[in-house]
Homo-oligomer: A and B are copies of this chain.
Amino acid sequence: MSVEPSPTGGPNDGGARHVLDDASIEWLRAGGPAGDVVFSSRVRLARNLSGLPFVGRATPEQKQRTLDLVREAIRGTDLPDRWVWLNIHETPASDRGLLVERHLISKQLQKGRGAAIGEDPRAVAFCTPGERVSIMVNEEDHLRLQVIRSGLDLSDAWAQADRIDDSLEAALDFAYAPRLGYLTACPTNIGTGARMSVMLHLPALRMTGDIDKVKRAAGDMGLAVRGFYGEGSEAAGDLYQLSNQTTLGKSEAMILSDLESVIIPRVIEYERIARKTLLTKRTNFLLDQIYRSLGAARHARLMTAEEAMQHLSNIRMGCILGVIKDVEPALLNLLLLLVQPTHLQRVFGKDLDQDARREARALLLRTRLGGV
């Protein structure tokens, strides 16, 4: 395996830019298991190095030491992919925006801790092509390993996360207590340090009004429900991220089995039934929603990101139900990314203010979806 060196003394944007229009990004690749409803599955492990303070209390020098140790450890893993290493503190703001929109880094890592008194060392490493594996360094924890799969495939994501974790653990000394498990900066992650989440596309449940029931039921089963961009974000584009809340007292295998074999299949079934019901019992209403979205995407001259995501959501359902035949789901997934502010500006190769972005976004949709 190789680690791409980041250029010294300047921004290191190669990793973020060259894959801009890359539909091979794992979570955009339509067609995974249960891909009609499940966008992607994600496993995230939180790890910290023993002998170094948690990120919140570390000095810049200690943070740099963490970076060096992790980077060295990554070199030792045996992944077939090519790793890209980016020092976030040396990465320009626009590129950080790209990484956030691609779900490679969190907003927290984008902005940094203690940014007001200078930016502390922090980084992200990710595998290309596909971006299926990424590691944030010096976010809330020293390491946050993320493995993503298209569709419902937590098992496979978990298996890879576990392998990489073992491989890293061979080179790094992780903070671990026999009775508690892995130690983490926030007590909610202590124990396994594992969070498993699934991104679901639930347009029909929104249309039938049953989405709130699903959210309540998920909460009752100990799951957190978040939007497309994680905690606090709205469920734009009818995308809902369901994840386990518990990391202590339950093995990863139990969490995984609960989610993948019981809870998520139930939600998937619920959404599928809602789609079928709409298609057979409220046909005109459903077709109207789908085609109006296609009409807006093909004709509008100004559009917000939120509206664009809503239309893409409706059109996506139309494709999956066979109503719309001349649009590929993978294209819709890609557009979901490209309509985001930073990607949009990258597509057009320049900085755009809000009005210009609305214009560019509408143009992008028309161009890609055969509009007039």
For A285, list chain B residues within 8 Å (CB): 302
Query: Does A284 lie within 8 Å of B298, measured CB to CB?
Result: no
C-alpha spacing A302/B290, complex, angstroms: 11
Minimum distance in angstroms from A122 CB to a CB of chain B: 39
For the residues of A in contact with B, the DSSP-based class is helix
Nearest residue in B to A295 (C-beta to C-beta)? B299
- Taking the complex as formed, is A262 at the interface, i.e. its CB lies under 8 A from any CB of chain B? no
For A284, list chain B residues within 8 Å (CB): 301-302, 355, 358-359
Nearest residue in B to A355 (C-beta to C-beta)? B284
For A78, list chain B residues within 8 Å (CB): none
- Taking the complex as formed, is A214 at the interface, i.e. its CB lies under 8 A from any CB of chain B? no
- Taking the complex as formed, is A372 at the interface, i.e. its CB lies under 8 A from any CB of chain B? yes
Nearest residue in B to A294 (C-beta to C-beta)? B299
Nearest residue in B to A358 (C-beta to C-beta)? B284
- Taking the complex as formed, is A362 at the interface, i.e. its CB lies under 8 A from any CB of chain B? yes
Query: Does A372 lie within 8 Å of B301, measured CB to CB?
Result: no
- Taking the complex as formed, is A174 at the interface, i.e. its CB lies under 8 A from any CB of chain B? no
- Taking the complex as formed, is A287 at the interface, i.e. its CB lies under 8 A from any CB of chain B? yes
Nearest residue in B to A293 (C-beta to C-beta)? B299
C-alpha spacing A307/B359, complex, angstroms: 25
Sort chain A's interface into a size bin.
Answer: 20 to 34
Nearest residue in B to A299 (C-beta to C-beta)? B295
C-alpha spacing A293/B362, complex, angstroms: 15
Q: Which of B292, B302, B372 contacts A300 (CB 8 A)?
A: B292
C-alpha spacing A359/B292, complex, angstroms: 13
How would residues 97 to 132 of chain A score, 1 for a CB under 8 Å from any chain B CB and 0 otherwise? 000000000000000000000000000000000000
Q: Which of B294, B301, B371, B372 contacts A288 (CB 8 A)?
A: B301
Query: Does B300 lie within 8 Å of A295, measured CB to CB?
Result: yes
C-alpha spacing A372/B295, complex, angstroms: 9
C-alpha spacing A371/B372, complex, angstroms: 12
Minimum distance in angstroms from A99 CB to a CB of chain B: 30
- Taking the complex as formed, is A296 at the interface, i.e. its CB lies under 8 A from any CB of chain B? yes
Minimum distance in angstroms from A282 CB to a CB of chain B: 10
- Taking the complex as formed, is A270 at the interface, i.e. its CB lies under 8 A from any CB of chain B? no
For A295, list chain B residues within 8 Å (CB): 292, 295-296, 298-300, 371
Residues 322 to 372 of chain A near chain B (Cβ within 8 Å) = 355, 358-359, 362, 371-372
- Taking the complex as formed, is A291 at the interface, i.e. its CB lies under 8 A from any CB of chain B? yes
For A287, list chain B residues within 8 Å (CB): 301
Which 4 pairs, one residue from A and one from B, show the smallest C-beta to C-beta distance?
A295-B299, A295-B295, A288-B301, A291-B299
Interface of A toward B, CB cutoff 8 Å: 284-285, 287-288, 291-292, 294-296, 298-302, 355, 358-359, 362, 371-372
User: Could you give 27 example pairs across A and B, Cβ below 8 Å?
Assistant: A284-B301, A284-B302, A284-B355, A284-B358, A284-B359, A285-B302, A287-B301, A288-B301, A288-B302, A288-B362, A291-B372, A292-B295, A292-B296, A292-B299, A292-B300, A292-B301, A294-B299, A294-B372, A295-B295, A295-B296, A295-B298, A295-B299, A295-B300, A295-B371, A296-B296, A296-B299, A298-B299
